[in-house]
Amino acid sequence: MKLLHRILVVAFVFTAATAFASGKHADETITVGSTKHRTFFVFKAQKKFVGATVEIYASNGNLLTTQNLERRKMIIDFGSATTDTYTIRITKGGARREYQYIKH
C-alpha cells in the first residue's frame, strides 16, 4: 500500500511540474517568433485576433502602412527599410499589442 501511495505521489508531482513549466499561457494572444532572417518580424496570433488591424509606425510617429490580419501568422520584411526603430501595433476591438523592431 505504501508503494502504491508513493507511485501516485510521484506521478502527481511530475504531472504538476509539467503543467507549471509549460511555456504557453492560455491568455497569450500573440506570439513573436524568431527566424534566421534578421530583417523579418514574425508573429502568430490566436484565432480571435484574425481580422485585426496591423499598423507600422516609424520612430517619429508617422504611420507607414496598415493592413488587416487575414490569417493567424504574419511576416513583416524590413529588408528594404531604413535604419530606424519601428513600432508594430496590432489592434482588434479593445485589445491592443505593441512591439518594437530595431533595424540596424
Summarize pLDDT for 45-80 with one digit per residue, the tens: 888 889 999 999 999 999 999 999 999 999 999 888
**Percent of the chain having pLDDT more than 70?**
68
User: Is 12 part of a structural domain of the chain?
Assistant: no
pTM of the model: 0.65
User: Is 96 part of a structural domain of the chain?
Assistant: yes
pLDDT at 9 over 80: no
Q: Which CATH number belongs to the domain containing residue 36 in this structure?
A: 2.60.40.3080
- Judging by DSSP bridges, how do beta strands 95-103 and 63-68 pair with one another? unpaired
* Per-residue confidence (pLDDT) for residue 89, from 0 to 100: 94
* Per-residue confidence (pLDDT) for residue 16, from 0 to 100: 52
User: Is 10 part of a structural domain of the chain?
Assistant: no
What is the number of domains present in the chain? 1
pLDDT at 26 over 50: no
Structural domain including 88 reads 25-103
What is the band of 8 on the pLDDT scale with cuts at 50, 70, 90? low
- CA atoms of 104 and 35, how far apart (whole Å): 16
- CA atoms of 53 and 51, how far apart (whole Å): 7
By three-state DSSP, how is residue 29 classified? Answer: coil
User: Is 1 part of a structural domain of the chain?
Assistant: no
- Mean pLDDT, range 24-38, rounded to an integer: 58
